[in-house]
């Protein structure tokens, strides 16, 4: 935990510096007749972030916060596995939105999560994997008229849209 | 009298068939969300906000407010039945609610929680109805300096009263404000903070992307981590006879209910305080003032009544500054505020003039939501227990899908979905290190409103910050904000002075 506290403080400090630099692409001072430059607001806020990160690192060095004194592991093996499986499968599903579209990615994600992570029966997994994309399609595409990404499956939906509209 | 007539008009809006259906549905959805361990009103409102584009703006906000209310009721269910608070707002309910359930009085605890929530909700809505119009009248005189001062005070409450690590709280506020500044500069129209040159940042960072990332994905990752162990569900047998007996017993707790309601309402108004500290304070006061404080923690019905009346009252309290001043009183109302801005209903005093129907419709809907939440809560106790038995491996993927689709719909841009995942993962990693996340969500909502207010103020004063100290309202608010920011420092100095004196 102690090391994680330091690493997070340092990473966020570097990110603050980057944001300050990006903000400074626009004027950060006073422009006569116009007021503060376009970069002033984010620049000084990012500077505030940097000061906070310095304070976090100083407090870490002085062992003031509970995290900076903690000898606990930041993520044990089981937590790390759960984190990687959940965040990883979510990332893969989002990635698949670009390729097979929402209606291909959602059932694949559900099959992986329910069957292989949750150990549920094929019957339950299949029910969710079929019904969820149907409900999603009816709610978003028909009721809300918001088109979800379809990737290469786009042409398959054209007859359905022809039927509806 | 005018208030009464406006309220009656509001009831006409709230009781329109669609709005009424949305209140009932919102209460039911909120109750289920609140009942699930790890999920609370803020998660429900953040994840479901994109789904409300189906209905008109008034109906959408009424629906979200009903979810907020329902979730406040529902939080008690898992506190009592599992011993795991549905949300942090229901932590105090666990203290006596769980021992009651273990003694076989789960039904009694559930009915006490629902009734106390109803009383808390009703008292707070009455307070809201009477206080909101005059406060909005005062706020009508506010200019840019006062508005900026108010926003500063909202952030100052997180520093002074939030109770979290101060540098981390400030960092959370600053990063939320910076994210709110991404996109195009409001004056010159030039691109600003286009991180990594990625085109998706040109349209800015939608507050929902951060809110769903934090309260959807990060929260789920956190819940998956902390709910490793098995949980034991208590049994609850509900009967008319036992319900009537409980109601009789509850009459004796009216003082606790009123205390919790009034305290919760006023604590709820403060942005950094809200329902969690309100409920804990109400529990503490009820225990301190009790004849038998030793019975608390062992299944005293007052220990359920006090926090439950307070947390519901606080949820109404947090809507007061949001509607009248445009400053959200809680993370949930911050998301509601963002939703209102999307629908062109900019919160603040002008709302009471330009969108009277909406404001009073919303207020009237709170009365109705309160009643429906009570009825649904008591009638569907077995259904909530069934939901609690659902394995998390079924709930989690469904919620993840809702998050992903909900993150895509507002802007129809996959860039936002990826960004939401990044916020979710980083938010989870930061939460593990005790970085508070609520200030960042509040900041990304208020940032785009605070920057023009500051710019206008400085333009009026030709760049002098003295403008915040020369106008009576602005100076009073700024001085309060400064005191709040200095509060932790003053506390440290006081403790240092006290220590040698004690030694």
Q: Do A52 and B174 touch (CB under 8 A)?
A: yes
The pLDDT of residue B229 is 45
Q: Do A144 and B54 touch (CB under 8 A)?
A: yes
The pLDDT of residue A9 is 95
Q: Which of residues 259-318 of B touch A (CB under 8 A)?
A: none
Residue with tokens 């506020």: B173
Option in B171, B221, B394 nearest A52 (CB): B171
Express each pLDDT in A20-64 by its tens digit: 999 999 998 888 777 888 899 999 999 999 999 999 999 999 998
Q: Which of A52, A69, A86 is the last residue of a domain?
A: A69
Provide, as residue numbers in chain A, all residues whose Cβ is less than 8 Å from the Cβ of B192: 23, 25-26, 38-39, 42
- Residue (of B315, B390, B310, B380) closest to B93 by Cα position: B310
Tally helices (H) and strands (E) across chain A: 7, 2
DSSP letter at B229? S
- Residue (of B150, B165, B139, B177) closest to B443 by Cα position: B177
**The three-state (H, E, C) secondary structure of B300-333, written as one string:** CCHHHHHHHHHHHHHHHHCHHHHHHHCCCCCHHH
The pLDDT of residue A103 is 94
Any bridge partners for residue A31, and if so which? A35
Q: Which of A69, A91, A117 is the last residue of a domain?
A: A69
Express each pLDDT in B236-250 by its tens digit: 666 777 778 888 888
Q: Verify that A91 and A156 share a domain, yes or no.
A: yes
HSE (side-chain half, CA atoms, 13 Å) at A61: 6
Q: Verify that A81 and A65 share a domain, yes or no.
A: no
Q: Which residues of chain B have pLDDT under 70?
A: 1, 37-38, 84-86, 88, 161-163, 228-238, 271-274, 500-503
Q: Do B190 and A38 touch (CB under 8 A)?
A: yes
HSE (side-chain half, CA atoms, 13 Å) at B289: 14
Q: How far away is chain B from the Cα of A46, in angstroms, using its nearest Cα?
A: 7
Q: Which of residues 136-165 of A touch B (CB under 8 A)?
A: 136, 139-140, 143-144, 146-149
Option in B393, B405, B458 nearest A35 (CB): B458
DSSP letter at B423? H
Q: Verify that A157 and A85 share a domain, yes or no.
A: yes
Residue with tokens 């950060």: A28
The pLDDT of residue B251 is 86
The pLDDT of residue B76 is 85
Is the distance from CB of B57 to CB of B67 less than 8 angstroms? no
Given CB atoms, is B412 within the 8 Å cutoff of chain A?
yes
Given CB atoms, is B55 within the 8 Å cutoff of chain A?
no
Instruction: Show the CA angle centred on residue B327, arms to residues B321 and B329, nearest 5°.
Output: 60
Q: Verify that A29 and A99 share a domain, yes or no.
A: no
Q: Do B175 and A49 touch (CB under 8 A)?
A: yes
Structure tokens at B225: 């981590």
The pLDDT of residue B347 is 83
Q: Verify that A50 and A10 share a domain, yes or no.
A: yes
Provide, as residue numbers in chain A, all residues whose Cβ is less than 8 Å from the Cβ of B458: 35-36
Q: Verify that A112 and A48 share a domain, yes or no.
A: no
Q: List phi, psi (to 5°) of B79.
A: -60, -40
Q: Verify that A59 and A132 share a domain, yes or no.
A: no
A78: how many CB neighbours lie within 10 A of its CB?
10
Is the distance from CB of B267 to CB of B320 less than 8 angstroms? no
Residue A158's pLDDT band (cuts 50, 70, 90) = confident
Q: Do B224 and A82 touch (CB under 8 A)?
A: yes
Q: How far apart are CA B349 and CA B320, in angstroms?
A: 11
The pLDDT of residue B503 is 54
Q: Do A35 and B175 touch (CB under 8 A)?
A: no
Option in A45, A75, A114 nearest B174 (CB): A45
Given CB atoms, is B188 within the 8 Å cutoff of chain A?
yes
Average confidence score pLDDT of chain A = 91
Q: Which of A37, A69, A101 is the last residue of a domain?
A: A69
Given CB atoms, is B451 within the 8 Å cutoff of chain A?
yes
Q: How far away is chain A from the Cα of B434, in angstroms, using its nearest Cα?
A: 8
Q: Which of residues 53-82 of A touch B (CB under 8 A)?
A: 53, 55-56, 59, 65-67, 74-75, 78-79, 82
Q: Do A86 and B455 touch (CB under 8 A)?
A: no
Given CB atoms, is B421 within the 8 Å cutoff of chain A?
yes
Nearest residue of A to residue B181, measured between CA atoms: A42
Given CB atoms, is B409 within the 8 Å cutoff of chain A?
yes
Q: How far apart are CA B482 and CA A99, in angstroms?
A: 53
Any bridge partners for residue A35, and if so which? A31
Structure tokens at A18: 């980057």
Q: Verify that A97 and A19 share a domain, yes or no.
A: no
- The count of residues in chain A is 165
Any bridge partners for residue B192, and if so which? B183
Q: Which of residues 150-179 of B touch A (CB under 8 A)?
A: 165, 167-168, 170-171, 174-175, 177-178
Given CB atoms, is B222 within the 8 Å cutoff of chain A?
no
Q: Do B51 and A82 touch (CB under 8 A)?
A: no
Q: Verify that A27 and A91 share a domain, yes or no.
A: no
Q: Verify that A92 and A159 share a domain, yes or no.
A: yes
Provide, as residue numbers in chain B, all residues whose Cβ is less than 8 Å from the Cβ of A30: 463
Provide, as residue numbers in chain A, all residues whose Cβ is less than 8 Å from the Cβ of B429: 4, 8
The number of C-beta contacts closer than 8 angstroms across A and B is: 167
Option in A5, A26, A56 nearest B185 (CB): A26
Q: How many independent structural domains does chain A possess?
A: 2
Distances (CA, A) of B34 to B31, B45, B66, B106, B377: 5, 11, 12, 17, 11
* ipTM at complex level: 0.94
Q: How far apart are CA B35 and CA B284, in angstroms?
A: 24
Q: Verify that A59 and A92 share a domain, yes or no.
A: no
Q: What share of chain A has pLDDT > 90, as a percent?
A: 62
The pLDDT of residue A128 is 94
Express each pLDDT in B362-412 by its tens digit: 889 989 998 988 888 888 877 777 777 778 788 889 889 988 988 888 888
Domain that holds residue A45: 2-69
Any bridge partners for residue A36, and if so which? A30
Q: Verify that A130 and A60 share a domain, yes or no.
A: no
- Residue (of B167, B173, B72) closest to B124 by Cα position: B72
Q: What is the pTM of this model?
A: 0.81
């Amino acid at each position: 935990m102690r090391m994680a506290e330091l690493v997070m403080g340092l990473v966020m400090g570097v990110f603050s510096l980057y944001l300050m630099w990006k903000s400074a692409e626009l004027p950060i001072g006073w422009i006569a007749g116009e007021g503060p430059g376009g970069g002033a607001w984010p620049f000084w806020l990012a500077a505030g972030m940097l000061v906070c990160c310095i304070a976090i690192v100083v407090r870490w060095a002085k062992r003031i916060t509970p995290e900076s004194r903690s000898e606990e592991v930041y993520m044990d093996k089981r937590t790390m596995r759960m984190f990687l499986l959940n965040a990883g499968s979510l990332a893969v599903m989002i990635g698949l939105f670009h390729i097979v579209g929402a209606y291909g990615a959602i059932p694949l994600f559900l099959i992986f999560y329910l069957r292989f992570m949750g150990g549920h029966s094929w019957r339950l997994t299949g029910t969710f994997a079929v019904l969820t994309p149907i409900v999603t399609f009816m709610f978003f595409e028909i009721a809300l008229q918001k088109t979800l990404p379809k990737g290469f499956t786009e042409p398959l939906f054209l007859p359905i849209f022809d039927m509806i509209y | 009298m005018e208030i009464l007539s406006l309220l009656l008009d509001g009831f006409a809006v709230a009781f329109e068939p669609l709005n009424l259906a949305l209140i009932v549905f919102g209460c039911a959805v909120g109750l289920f969300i609140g009942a699930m361990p790890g999920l609370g009103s803020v998660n429900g409102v953040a994840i479901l906000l994109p789904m409300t584009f189906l209905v008109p703006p008034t109906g959408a906000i009424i629906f979200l407010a009903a979810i907020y209310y329902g979730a406040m009721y529902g939080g008690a269910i898992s506190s009592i039945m599992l011993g795991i608070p549905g949300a942090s707002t229901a932590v105090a309910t666990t203290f006596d609610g769980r021992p009651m359930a273990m003694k076989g009085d789960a039904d009694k605890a559930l009915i006490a929680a629902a009734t106390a929530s109803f009383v808390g909700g009703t008292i707070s809505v009455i307070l809201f109805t009477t206080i909101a119009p005059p406060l909005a009248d005062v706020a009508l005189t506010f200019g840019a300096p006062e508005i900026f001062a108010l926003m500063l005070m909202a952030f100052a409450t997180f520093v002074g009263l939030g109770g979290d690590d101060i540098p981390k709280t400030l960092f959370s506020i600053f990063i939320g404000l910076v994210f709110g500044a991404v996109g195009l500069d409001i004056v010159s129209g030039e691109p600003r903070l286009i991180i990594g040159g990625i085109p998706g940042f040109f349209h800015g960072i939608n507050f929902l992307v951060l809110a769903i990332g934090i309260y959807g994905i990060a929260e789920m990752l956190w819940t998956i981590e902390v709910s490793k162990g098995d949980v034991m569900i208590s049994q609850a047998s509900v009967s008319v006879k036992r319900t009537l007996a409980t109601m009789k017993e509850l009459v004796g707790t009216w003082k606790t209910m009123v205390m919790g309601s009034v305290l919760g309402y006023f604590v709820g108004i403060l942005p950094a305080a809200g329902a969690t500290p309100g409920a804990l304070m109400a529990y503490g006061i009820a225990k301190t003032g009790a004849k038998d404080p030793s019975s608390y923690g062992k299944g005293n019905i007052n220990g359920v009544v006090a926090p439950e009346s307070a947390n519901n009252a606080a949820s109404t309290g947090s809507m007061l500054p949001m509607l009248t001043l445009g400053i959200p009183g809680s993370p949930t109302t911050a998301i509601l505020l963002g939703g209102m801005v999307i629908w062109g209903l900019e919160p603040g005093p002008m709302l009471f003039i330009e969108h009277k129907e909406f404001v009073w419709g919303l207020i009237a809907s709170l009365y109705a939501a309160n009643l429906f939440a009570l009825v649904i809560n008591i009638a569907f106790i077995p259904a909530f227990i069934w939901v609690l038995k659902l394995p998390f491996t079924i709930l989690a993927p469904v919620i993840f899908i809702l998050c992903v689709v909900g993150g895509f719909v507002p802007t129809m841009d996959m860039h936002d979905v990826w960004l939401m995942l990044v916020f979710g993962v980083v938010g989870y990693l930061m939460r593990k290190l005790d970085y508070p996340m609520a200030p960042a969500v509040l900041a990304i909502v208020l940032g785009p409103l605070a920057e023009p207010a500051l710019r206008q103020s400085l333009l009026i004063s030709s760049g002098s910050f003295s403008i915040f100290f020369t106008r009576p309202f602005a100076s009073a608010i700024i001085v309060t904000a400064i005191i709040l920011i200095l509060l932790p420092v003053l506390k440290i100095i006081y403790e240092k002075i006290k220590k040698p004196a004690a030694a």
